Structure 1
Amino acid sequence: MRLLMQIVIPVEKGNAAASDGSLQKAFDDFVTEAKPEAAYFFLREGKRAAFFVFEEESQKNLIAHNEKMFVALDAEISIQPVLSHGELSEQL
């Protein structure tokens, strides 16, 4: 299943994580493990944010992805299934 995972990182924790290298490590580890087809980084209401689009077949793996972002970055996380335009066209 293709998923969109969005994370928002509190400013104070994000600043500390950027300074000590744990921000980059958390993102690098996630990209290595989940192999997202897209990864974008941006600001949301003055906070660091990112979204990733990736395939995941096991809900068990989602827990591992979430926990790492919670622990390393105090991240707020939202995940939802998404379809490409082609997949949507097939369903209609």
Structure 2
Amino acid sequence: MRVMLKATLDTDKANEFLQSGKMPQLLKETMEQVRPEAAYFGPQDGHRTCYFVFDMADSSQLPPIGEPFFTQLNAKVEVFPIMNLDDLQKGLSQLG
């Protein structure tokens, strides 16, 4: 299932992580693990925010993907199903 993971980073923890030089490694590991079709980074509501769109084959993938953001960056993590236009059209074609 295509999902979007949104990680809103705690500013103080993210500052510490950036200063320690660990941020590039965390992002590299995340990109290698989820192999996103899209990844975006920017501010939202005054916080550093990451967005990853990827295929989650099984819900058991969630802990290894989300926990580093929780434990290392004190992030607020949200994961929700999303569709691209092809998915939406396929779903709409199934309506009666």
Give me the TM-score of the superposition, normalised by structure 2: 0.91
Give how far 1:14 is off: 0.8
- Distance in 1 separating the partners of 2:77 and 2:90: 29
Report which of the two structures shows the higher radius of gyration computed on alpha carbons: 2
Q: Partner of 1:74 in structure 2?
A: 74
Q: How many matched pairs?
A: 92
- Distance in 2 separating the partners of 1:25 and 1:45: 25
Q: Provide structure 2 residue ranges, at least 5 long, that are not aligned to the other structure.
A: none
Equivalent residues in 2 for 1:7-86, closer than 5 Å: 7-86=7-86
- Distance in 1 separating the partners of 2:75 and 2:25: 14
Runs of 4+ in 1 over 2 A off after TM superposition: none
- The letter of the residue matching 1:80 is F
- The letter of the residue matching 1:35 is R
Give me the TM-score of the superposition, normalised by structure 1: 0.94
Q: Provide structure 1 residue ranges, at least 5 long, that are not aligned to the other structure.
A: none
Q: Report percent identity of matched pairs.
A: 26
**Secondary structure at the residue paired with 2:57?**
coil
